[in-house]
């Protein structure tokens, strides 16, 4: 009994951590690329990156299903290696990462844009390569925003339901994440499991809010916005 109650916890934990790790790096990479991309397709690519945020999760799930299903391009590719993601644990990660990606991407874009161009230009005149500028100047200064993005995408991954259900289904012990487990528990009238899972989710949510508040404070204190000199000369 305990095992069935707690298995969604374990699955969600694995899923969320894996998905957030993937989204974190891909979101930052995409934001950095877009910051320097001057081409004509800027708006189009930006739109594609943000799309999963705007679409209903079930539509996203449907899209993923078409992509990874037996008749889909990626599904067929994976079949060559003898693998299939539909209705398996990796599907929960894919679904969670895809819906969370826009949040990480947009927040990271905003955070990078906020770093004053002159600061990066100063680094250039001082001989720093673009790589060094990114790691030693832009990223540290964008950190509060990037961290907030990570927290938001973690929250979104945790709460992902529609796309997960479509792509991964609800297989107890394998793909039943917390939100899915709550849904079916309510359906089945299992109040105990419902309450337990909801309380856990609330606890995590408050934890994330506290983390967000911390980074918001860090952002206003470290202030990479233009410094207002104190005139304490």
Partner 1 sequence: MLKVRIRKNLPGFNLDVAFAVNQEILAVIGPSGSGKTMTMLCIAGLIQPDEGYIRLNSKVLYDSDSGLNLPPQQRRVGFVFQNYALFPHLTVRDNIAFGIRHLSRQEVEDRVWRLLDKMHIQELGHRYPRQLSAGQQQRVALGRALAPEPEVLLMDEPFSALDTYVKEQLERELLALQHFYQGNILFVTHDLSEGYKLSSKIAVYESGRILQCDSKQQVIAAPANRAVARLTGVRNLMAGAVVEIEDSSVWVAVPELGGRLRVTIRDAAQLAIDQQVTIGIRAEYVQVADHLDENTFLGKVSQAVEGVASINYSVRVHGTATAGHDLEASLSKSEAPPIPIGQSCYLRLPPDRLCMIGG
Binding site for partner 1 (CB under 8 A): 116, 118-119, 121-129, 137, 140-141, 222-224, 226-227, 229-233
**Torsion sign (Cα): 172, 176, 182, 184:** negative
CB closer to partner 1 out of 82 and 127: 127
CB closer to partner 1 out of 36 and 71: 36
Distance CA 25, CA 21 (A): 7
Distance CA 141, CA 229 (A): 18
- Phi and psi dihedrals of 232, rounded to 5? -105, 25
Query: What is the C-alpha radius of gyration for the chain, rounded to an integer number of angstroms?
Result: 21
CB closer to partner 1 out of 2 and 125: 125
Distance CA 44, CA 163 (A): 23
Question: What is the largest distance, in Å, between two alpha-carbon atoms of the chain?
Answer: 71
Identify the residue whose tokens are 């950190």: 143
CB closer to partner 1 out of 94 and 123: 123
Smallest distance from the beta carbon of 176 to partner 1, in angstroms? 44
Smallest distance from the beta carbon of 231 to partner 1, in angstroms? 5
Smallest distance from the beta carbon of 21 to partner 1, in angstroms? 25
Chain centre distance of CA 156? 7
Distance CA 3, CA 176 (A): 13
CB closer to partner 1 out of 174 and 218: 218
Distance CA 91, CA 230 (A): 54
Smallest distance from the beta carbon of 128 to partner 1, in angstroms? 7
CB closer to partner 1 out of 116 and 190: 116
Smallest distance from the beta carbon of 146 to partner 1, in angstroms? 14
Distance CA 13, CA 127 (A): 44
Smallest distance from the beta carbon of 219 to partner 1, in angstroms? 12
């Amino acid at each position: 009994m305990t095992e069935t109650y707690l298995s969604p916890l374990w699955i969600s934990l694995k899923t969320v951590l894996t998905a957030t790790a993937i989204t974190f790096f891909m979101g930052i990479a995409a934001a950095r690329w877009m910051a320097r991309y001057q081409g004509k397709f800027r708006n189009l690519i930006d739109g594609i990156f943000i799309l999963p945020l705007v679409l209903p999760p079930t539509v996203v799930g449907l899209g993923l299903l078409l992509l990874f299903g037996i008749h889909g391009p990626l599904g067929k590719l994976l079949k060559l290696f003898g693998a299939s993601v539909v209705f398996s644990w990796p599907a929960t990660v894919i679904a969670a990462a895809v819906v969370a990606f826009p949040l990480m991407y947009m927040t990271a874009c905003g955070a990078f844009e906020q770093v004053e161009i002159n600061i990066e230009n100063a680094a250039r005149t001082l001989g720093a390569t673009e790589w060094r500028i990114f790691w030693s100047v832009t990223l540290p200064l964008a950190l509060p925003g990037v961290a907030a993005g990570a927290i938001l995408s973690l929250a979104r991954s945790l709460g992902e339901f529609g796309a997960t259900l479509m792509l991964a289904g609800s297989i107890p012990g394998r793909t039943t994440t917390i939100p899915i487990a709550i849904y079916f528990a309510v359906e089945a009238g299992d109040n105990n499991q419902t309450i337990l899972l909801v309380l856990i989710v609330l606890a995590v949510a408050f934890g994330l809010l506290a983390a967000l508040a911390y980074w918001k404070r860090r952002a206003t204190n470290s202030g990479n916005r233009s410094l207002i000199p104190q005139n304490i000369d």
